[in-house]
Each structure stands twice: as C-alpha cells, then as structure tokens.
Amino acid sequence: MTTVSLVLGSGGARGYAHIGAIEEIERRGYKIVSISGSSMGALVGGMYAAGKLPEYRDWVLTLNWVRVVRLLDFTLSRGAIRGDKVFIQLAELLGSPNIEDLDIDYTAVAADIAHQKEVWYQKGSLLEAIRASVAVPGLFTPVIKEGRVLVDGGVLNPLPIIPAVAAQADLIIAVDLNTGDSSHSHLKLPSNKYLKRSGMSDEWHMPDVEREQSEEDEEIKASIGGRMDILLNSVEVMQASLAEYKIAGYPPDLIVRIPKDLSSFYDFHRAAESIEYGRLATRDKLEALENGEPIN
C-alpha cells in the first residue's frame, strides 16, 4: 500500500476541501501516515488524525449563515472572535486527546508574533494546537501562553511541507488553498466542471435564512463584508506568495491546487461545495499520477 504524508494548507472556509481530498486519497487505497497543517489544515488534519473526521464533516454540513454568525460570537466593539463557542463544539467532537497519542504523526503550525518564528505542535493537547493554529490575526483573538503570542500558522507558513519530509512516506501530497493560477478561473461556483461532473446540481442556492436573521446578524454580516473582506484578502495575497515559496524550496510529489475563487475566506456555510470540489480535484491529480501524466 502506498503511504502518503499529507500537507494541508491554510485558507479559511476553503479548508473544507481538505475533507474531500482526504476522502478521495483513502478511497483510492492510499494510506495516510502523516499530516501537517496550518490553520484550517491543522483543524481538518487534527480531526482526521483523531479519527473524528466523519463527525466533523456531518456537523459542518449542517451550518448555514445564521448558525455560523452565532457560533463565532463576533463582537463589533472588539472586532475579534473569541472562538469559545466554536471550540466548545470542537471539544465535544474531539474529546481531549494528546498529539503523541494519535495513530498517525501530526504537526500543527502556529506563528509566534512576539518572537517572529514558527511554532510546531507535535505533542501536548490537540485542541490547544488547533486553537493556536487557526487564530487569524484581526479575526480570532490570539493565544497568549508562556510569553508567546500565537496566531494563525499561515502568517509564516501557509503550507508546512518540511514536517512532512521527516515522515518518509512514499508520497508527499500538498493541498494548497490559495492558488491564483489563471487556469482555474473557469472553475468558479456555483457552476463549474467539478460540480457538474459529480452529478450534483448545477445551481447552488444559499439557504433561505433572511427571515431568521436579527438586526444584529445583519449588522455583523455588513461588517464582515466590508472591513473583513479587505483584511482577509490581504492575508490571502500574503499566503499565496508564501505558499509558492515553500513549494519551490521543498517540492512535494503532488500538489492539489484549490483556487481562491472557490469560496470566500469566511464562507463556512458552504461546506458541501468545497468538500466535493476537494474530492474531485484530488481525484484528477491522483488519476494523472497513476497514469504517468504531468501532475504539477
């Protein structure tokens, strides 16, 4: 059985594509022996390493825009998300495992902005590692511990390939969520070749939740659509550049490139589309690899 060391990149809600990528890798008979991830890559990878990915998948598929807003406990006055409600839910799914007790090697990457360096979590609390790795600056409040100010790993390393090298697997597969490759410009949702080919509906509709939204929800939505767009677009530009730098330094055997136009950074209510896209994009890459065709 071919073994895989999997690298899962940062990219907000597009990280749901990691779920589809993992499902397709396993479906084709590969064995994942190592995962390293930043931000959403650390979250999805941690769920997989703990054996809780199916439960996490089922949960995110229930989320609509209203549930996401209320789950994130967004405060206009502070301009940041504490994340308490999110991590209460994640703790219910995960329990309290330590990284060293997981069945596969796992690395979550965070950035210590106080000392300007990467922090690799390879032991200790899995939930704590995920919390530090997903703390997007200006959006989630940072984790402050032992003199370190820990934020989203994508600030310094959006595609942590180096930890995957040590696993000595047959293949290193990286899933990059921040590609700006113009060849993907025709794959925008709601209608693109992957979703059509999968037999899913050509038309994707937002849940009819307008009647459920309070004035506070609308105010939050307007805020996120304004200043958050600017902030997160800036983060994505930075991460796309850093990811290409990491790829050039340590080229993986296979790169699954997920375009930025798949979804916005904070479209956490659109799990189904992203999961399916990730699965089918990974299928195409693995088919090309197995057929000896160009892959990257």
Tokens in use for 34? 């190592």
Q: Which SS3 state, helix, strand or coil, does residue 246 take? A: helix
Task: Give how far Cα 215 sits from Cα of 65, 211, 212, 220, 225, Å.
Answer: 14, 11, 10, 9, 15
What is the C-alpha to C-alpha distance for residues 101 and 58, in angstroms, rounded to an integer?
Answer: 24
**Which member of 39, 133, 263, 264 is catalytic?**
39
| Residue partners of 121: CB distance under 8 A and separation at least 6 | 42, 99, 107, 108, 109, 110, 128, 129, 132, 133
**Which member of 152, 176, 263, 274 is catalytic?**
152
The alpha carbon of residue 94 and the mean position of all alpha carbons in its chain are separated, in whole angstroms, by 17
Please answer whether residues 161 and 247 qualify as being in contact, where contact means their C-beta atoms are separated by less than 8 angstroms.
yes
| Catalytic site includes residue 58 | no
Q: Among candidates 192, 88, 169, 93, which has minimal Cα distance to 131?
A: 88
What is the C-alpha to C-alpha distance for residues 213 and 195, in angstroms, rounded to an integer?
Answer: 29
Bridge partner residues of 81 (DSSP): 74, 140
Write out the DSSP string of 191-236: S-HHHHHTT--S-----S-GGG--HHHHHHHHHIIIIIHHHHHHHH
Amino acid (1-letter code) at residue 132: A
| Catalytic site includes residue 191 | no
Catalytic residue numbers read 39, 152
